[in-house]
Structure 1
Amino acid sequence: MVSTRDRSRSRRRTSKFFRRRATRATQLPLQAPRLRLMMVWGLLLFSMVGLTVQLAQLQLEEGPELLAMAREQQKIYSVSRAARRPVIDSQGNVVAVDRMVYTLFVHPSMFNQPLPEVASQLSSLVEIEPTALLEQFGQQETGIRVAGNLSEETAKRIRGLQLDGIDLLPAQQRLYPHQELLAQVVGYIDYDGTAQAGLEYSYQDQLLYEEPDQTPGLAGLPPVVAKDDQSLQLTIDSRLQRVAQRNLASTLAQHRAKRGTVLVMDSASGEILAMAVSPTYDPNRYYDADVEQFKNWAVSDLYEPGSTFKPINIAIALEAGVINPDDQLYDEGRIPYEGWTIQNSDFSVSGGHGTISITDVLRYSSNVGMVHIMEGMDREAYYSALEALGLGQETGVDLPAETAGQLKDRSEFVSKGIEAATTAFGQGFSLTPMQMLQLQATLANGGKLVTPHVVRGLVNQAGELTWQPQRPAPKQVFDPSVSQQVLEMMEAVVKDGTGKPAQISGYRIAGKTGTAQKANEFGQYGNQRITSFVSIVPVDDPRYVVLAVIDEPQGDNAYGSTVAAPLVKSVIESLLVFERVPPQGS
């Protein structure tokens, strides 16, 4: 039996057991939140230590690099262009000049007025609709480029609005006021400030100002330069250039031609008074142009001159003494020559011309007559005479990318009679329009080969020359009497020959037409033509040479007399007025 004492002890043990269990039960709910709290605090403390270490690393180790990157991202760059002197024409009209332009940046987060009000005030000044401006403002909080190439006057008006969050970044830009008029002559400056063509490229040493101080000026202005009052003056007259360019464009459109050029030279000095080239481009918007338009093909591309070279061959023959001005010859109209057939362009209509004078050879543009004339000259001597005129060489014109003419190898020329025969009427060799102009000038200036040029030199505000290019002295290639004799023959061409469309009442005009078959890339002659006309005025006091070359005019009636001669006439009419050349007998 269990005693009463034992039961009492058992109850006491049981009571203690349950009390211990109750105590533990009440302690556990109190300890769990504290543990979790300590764990959270530990995690936060660990994170803070990690962030502190990371921040210290960024500030101490990578801080300078990150700071530089941040500043780089916040910068707004303008292209630093070297300052250049102005370019002016022969009359002092500005052709190219530096100007300051501005780019507008906005920072919407800094605006002190509502966005619609800012957009409304800027709209008319930057020529952007308010809705479009608001759309731009919503792109980001700062550094939004709104408009570029703003004039100084526009920038002044924008500043006058007194708006916060507005930046006007200045930059130097080259301006060409006449746009397309002199593009192939002057060239252009690209966005990076680099000269890419024309005189901007070939006369950089004279156009660039010295820059002794390379420290940027205030408000991001370009470096301070030692500017002066000098300008690069051209020999070109913008008035005559405009007439030539306009009439050239009209001729190309009328005859659906591929391209063309009109050149005017003072034969005594070699000064180019006009150099129209088409197609052309606007150097202010050079990025919209076709790459082919940057080329001045009047100095860079070759062509076969055809009959406009016949007066030069006549002068060569007269100089060599193989003919006299009053000689006569027989023109069959068509002749076989070493397996080839040579005929006059009008043979199908007129047949042979029979017995004709040397003047008639030019008047009727007789190919057969020219072959007979040059047959009387030793081929070695003929080739040497062509070389003495500079064929196969450059003219030395002060424009970049000039191409030297092409003449057959001497041995081939001498051994093959057909080469001399085709050269006699202007085919089988090639030159540039500029070289053709230079050669024709020898017939106007008494037989001198002058260097063509478009730059007069650097002049100050008083028009005084401060620097002038050095050029070789003119080379005497024909006797003055020979030049005069050929000039009078060329006058007959305009008086009652193929050049009649170039006649101008009251003036003695000399000239020569040219219609040459155009060779393709394989050297074969096709149906395309290149037409030309050269004129010398006035015959009684010869000074000016005008040449027009039209490439691939279309139509059955596309000849030098119908395409190029009327164009030259239109240019001469203005030339005589601008140069104040009086009519004969005035």
Structure 2
Amino acid sequence: MSRSNFKRFSSRSKYPDKKSRFHRKSDSSNGRLRRSLPASGSKKRTALPQLRLLLVWGVLIGAMIGLGVKLYQLQIVQAPELQKKARSQQTVNLRPYIPRRSIIDSQGTVLATDRLAHILYVHPIQFKITKEEIAAKLSPILEDKTPQQLIERFKQRDTGIPIARGLTEGQAARIEKLRLDGVELNESYIRFYPQEKMVSEVIGYVDSDRNGQAGIERSQEKLLERDLLSLYVRRTALGEIVPAFLPQDLLKSNDLRVQLTLDMRIQRAARVALQQQLNKFNAKRGAVIIMDSTDGSLISLVCEPTFDPNKYYKSRIELFKNWTVTDLYEPGSTFKPINVALALTAGVIQPNTIIYDSGAVQVDGWNIYNATRTGHGAINIAQILQTSSNVAMVHMMRRLSRKDYYQGLQQLQVNKKTGIDLPGEVSGYLKSEEIFTKRGIEVATASFGQGLSLTPIKLVQLHGALANGGKLVTPHIVRGLVDVDGHLHWKPKHKVTQIMSPHVSRQVAEMMETVVTDGSGKASQILGYRIGGKTGTAQKAGPGGGYLPSAKITSFVAILPVDNPRYVVMTVVDEPQGANTYGSTVAAPIAKKVIEALIFLKGIPPSQHN
């Protein structure tokens, strides 16, 4: 075989079969792939997009639910809080200084008001000269502070030391002229009392923190504070300030003032009369109270000694209380007309009833005497009051059963507060019914005003019932809120209780008139006027029980005019010194001067029957 043929044979036989097999295999494989792949790929293409679609929809729905929940939280649940935060960020709340209401008397005289004053601060850390030099320059201007006192104040701390408050314009101008480093003047409003001491026991004072601390300033704090006004302004994006949330009554000013029932003219006359008598008898303290019994309004209330509310920090703290409403005392004989009214109401006596006064009586082993240590024989009820007989009062009140007497005292509300609009009032003291009804001595001492305690204002309230027809009115000082023209816009309501008949109260008032015309109250007589009265001289109870041997309290209570009773005047002098110190000699003369001023200033006409 030739080589060429061999090559051709080789080329045909070696590769064609293999190639053909390869091509066939490949073709068959491709064919099988082409036949099998379209079926499986179709299933995957349909399942996978559906799964993806479900996942996308799930995510979208979840996101929508989440957004809905968040919107609900923001728009509904957290909306008020977010609005508040937004408003606080966008607005500024301006609360300007609102002065307290002024206080005036019944005639319009200003008793308390707010005024601009200067406060002096020092900052020793900023001093450019020595403390001694600073003190030497300030002391002559401050007047009441020595250089050494100022130096001690400078040592307290390095900055912000208050030195003086309420400086006048003149003082402030002099300090500014010094141009001292570390010395600062600030303007501030302070409470100012033009009448100074004249009415301080009623008005009280306001401290440096603007809180009422005594008198009307304390008890009527809410009435004296004006409505706080808040002004809201909003910041724009450029930082400009524009109004926002302005109240409708922004331009309306609240100029109402607190008006009292006091008359400063009578207050001044009462204080002068009281001071003169206190000085004469070197007494511990005293008081004058004048009440209109028709409604309980107080025309005057004076206590001595007193304080200057403009300089309250210089006064003794015990002077800040009004002792006519905070201190109890045994009223003594000034309580006898009240007991007479109880006996008349019970029907155990009549005005013409005769009782024998032997000058002494023994009760439960105790001997009781008249103040004069003498008897007055057979006397009627008016004469019992005229002579202020203790013995006859014991016999008279014995006619009541102990239980009826005790219940009568309770009906008079002896042991209850009057409800006066001053702070610190205390209730009267009356022993328990068990003790009172068990021991005869309790009835005996109560018959002439001892063994029980009450406040001076309570005694005035009880005598007011004798003057107004038997009504227990509420003593008060606040008349109401008035405008600048004096028109009344608001007034308080007060309780009135009928505690005795008008007939009984009239009978007792007429008996009290005989005390002034024929008895111990002659020092209060005024020509042409019918005045009823009763003197009292009571021992003072000691702290450990019993009575103080050399301490007594003298008093006098008057009703006028008897033909048409309206006013009750009470004067009290505590611990007068000397031998001739009784209600008739110490307290009654004060009442006469006060009644004369009352008659003149109130225009009370003379009585028709003398």
- What TM-score bracket applies, with the shorter chain setting the length? 0.7 to 0.9
Name the TM-score, length of structure 1 as normaliser: 0.77
- Name the SS of the counterpart of 2:504 in structure 1: helix
User: How far apart are residue 281 of structure 1 and its match?
Assistant: 0.7
- Whole-angstrom distance in 1 between the partners of 2:421 and 2:144: 44
Say if 2:135 and 2:151, in contact at 8 Å, map to a contact too: no
For 1:395, give the aligned amino acid: T
Say if 1:270 and 1:452, in contact at 8 Å, map to a contact too: yes
- Name the SS of the counterpart of 1:442 in structure 2: helix
For 1:268, give the aligned amino acid: T
- Name the SS of the counterpart of 2:484 in structure 1: coil
User: How far apart are residue 152 of structure 1 and its match?
Assistant: 4.7
Say if 1:265 and 1:273, in contact at 8 Å, map to a contact too: yes
Structure 1 partner of 2:51: none
User: How far apart are residue 258 of structure 1 and its match?
Assistant: 1.2
Pair 215,344 (structure 1): closer, same or farther in 2 beyond 3 Å: farther
For 2:295, give the aligned amino acid: S
Structure 2 partner of 1:323: 349
- Whole-angstrom distance in 2 between the partners of 1:372 and 1:457: 47
Say if 2:480 and 2:489, in contact at 8 Å, map to a contact too: yes
- Out of 282, 294, 303, which is 2:308 matched to? 282
Structure 2 partner of 1:42: none
Instruction: Determine if the alignment matches structure 1 residue 445 to structure 2 residue 462.
Output: no
Say if 1:362 and 1:512, in contact at 8 Å, map to a contact too: yes
Q: Deviations along 1:225-278, whole A, 9 cap, x unmatched? A: 985211111101111111111221221111111111110000101000000011
Instruction: Determine if the alignment matches structure 1 residue 485 to structure 2 residue 507.
Output: yes
Structure 2 partner of 1:92: 108
- Name the SS of the counterpart of 1:443 in structure 2: helix
User: How far apart are residue 424 of structure 1 and its match?
Assistant: 0.6
Say if 1:83 and 1:225, in contact at 8 Å, map to a contact too: no
- Out of 586, 592, 595, which is 1:563 matched to? 586
User: How far apart are residue 124 of structure 1 and its match?
Assistant: 8.8
- Whole-angstrom distance in 1 between the partners of 2:172 and 2:321: 36
Say if 1:248 and 1:567, in contact at 8 Å, map to a contact too: yes
Say if 2:473 and 2:494, in contact at 8 Å, map to a contact too: no
- Whole-angstrom distance in 2 between the partners of 1:98 and 1:471: 29
- Whole-angstrom distance in 2 between the partners of 1:174 and 1:290: 20
Q: Deviations along 1:268-301, whole A, 9 cap, x unmatched? A: 0100000001111111111111111111110000
- Whole-angstrom distance in 1 between the partners of 2:208 and 2:159: 25
Structure 2 partner of 1:191: 208
Pair 164,412 (structure 1): closer, same or farther in 2 beyond 3 Å: closer
- Out of 552, 559, 568, which is 1:529 matched to? 552
- Name the SS of the counterpart of 1:380 in structure 2: helix
Task: Write out aligned runs for 1:26-41 (5 A).
Answer: none
- Whole-angstrom distance in 2 between the partners of 1:163 and 1:449: 63
Which blocks of at least 5 consecutive residues in structure 2 are unaligned? Answer: 1-95, 128-133, 234-249
Pair 144,489 (structure 1): closer, same or farther in 2 beyond 3 Å: closer
Task: Write out aligned runs for 1:132-211 (5 A).
Answer: 148-152=165-169, 155=172, 168-211=185-228
- Out of 455, 480, 484, which is 1:432 matched to? 455
Pair 81,282 (structure 1): closer, same or farther in 2 beyond 3 Å: farther
- Name the SS of the counterpart of 1:169 in structure 2: strand
- Whole-angstrom distance in 2 between the partners of 1:93 and 1:400: 23
State the superposition RMSD in angstroms: 3.5
For 1:412, give the aligned amino acid: I
- Whole-angstrom distance in 1 between the partners of 2:164 and 2:435: 63
Structure 2 partner of 1:249: 275
For 2:272, give the aligned amino acid: R
- Whole-angstrom distance in 2 between the partners of 1:323 and 1:128: 65
User: How far apart are residue 168 of structure 1 and its match?
Assistant: 3.5
- Whole-angstrom distance in 2 between the partners of 1:81 and 1:269: 37
Say if 2:325 and 2:424, in contact at 8 Å, map to a contact too: yes
- Whole-angstrom distance in 2 between the partners of 1:529 and 1:128: 39
Structure 2 partner of 1:269: 295
- Name the SS of the counterpart of 2:466 in structure 1: coil
Structure 2 partner of 1:6: none
Q: Deviations along 1:116-138, whole A, 9 cap, x unmatched? A: xx999999976699x99x999x9
Instruction: Determine if the alignment matches structure 1 residue 366 to structure 2 residue 374.
Output: no
- Out of 352, 375, 381, which is 2:375 matched to? 352
- Whole-angstrom distance in 2 between the partners of 1:406 and 1:163: 61
Pair 330,87 (structure 1): closer, same or farther in 2 beyond 3 Å: same
- Whole-angstrom distance in 1 between the partners of 2:193 and 2:534: 36
Q: Percent of pairs identical after alignment?
A: 50
For 2:434, give the aligned amino acid: S
Say if 1:536 and 1:546, in contact at 8 Å, map to a contact too: yes
- Out of 322, 330, 337, which is 1:296 matched to? 322
Please tell me whether Structure 1 or Structure 2 has the larger radius of gyration of its CA atoms. 2
Which blocks of at least 5 consecutive residues in structure 1 are unaligned? Answer: 1-79, 112-117, 217-223
Say if 1:230 and 1:460, in contact at 8 Å, map to a contact too: yes
User: How far apart are residue 559 of structure 1 and its match?
Assistant: 0.5
Q: Deviations along 1:373-429, whole A, 9 cap, x unmatched? A: 111112111111111111111011111100000001011111111111111111000
Q: Deviations along 1:348-383, whole A, 9 cap, x unmatched? A: xxx211111111100100111111111111211111
Q: Deviations along 1:479-499, whole A, 9 cap, x unmatched? A: 111111111111100001011
For 2:261, give the aligned amino acid: T
Q: Deviations along 1:64-98, whole A, 9 cap, x unmatched? A: xxxxxxxxxxxxxxxx9862110111111010101
Say if 1:235 and 1:271, in contact at 8 Å, map to a contact too: yes
Q: Deviations along 1:520-575, whole A, 9 cap, x unmatched? A: 00121122111110011111111110001111111111100011000111111101
For 1:199, give the aligned amino acid: I
- Whole-angstrom distance in 2 between the partners of 1:128 and 1:281: 18
Structure 1 partner of 2:118: 102
- Whole-angstrom distance in 2 between the partners of 1:365 and 1:568: 19
- Whole-angstrom distance in 2 between the partners of 1:106 and 1:343: 68
Name the TM-score, length of structure 2 as normaliser: 0.74
Say if 2:513 and 2:532, in contact at 8 Å, map to a contact too: yes
Which moved further from structure 2: 373-382 or 433-442? Answer: 373-382
Which moved further from structure 2: 293-302 or 140-149? Answer: 140-149
Q: Which consecutive segments of 4 or more residues in structure 1 shift more than 4 A?
A: 104-111, 118-129, 138-148, 152-167, 224-227
Instruction: Determine if the alignment matches structure 1 residue 502 to structure 2 residue 524.
Output: yes
Say if 1:212 and 1:226, in contact at 8 Å, map to a contact too: no
| Number of residue-to-residue matches in the alignment | 493
Which moved further from structure 2: 443-452 or 178-187? Answer: 178-187
Instruction: Determine if the alignment matches structure 1 residue 402 to structure 2 residue 419.
Output: no
Say if 1:315 and 1:486, in contact at 8 Å, map to a contact too: yes
- Whole-angstrom distance in 2 between the partners of 1:261 and 1:466: 32
User: How far apart are residue 150 of structure 1 and its match?
Assistant: 2.5
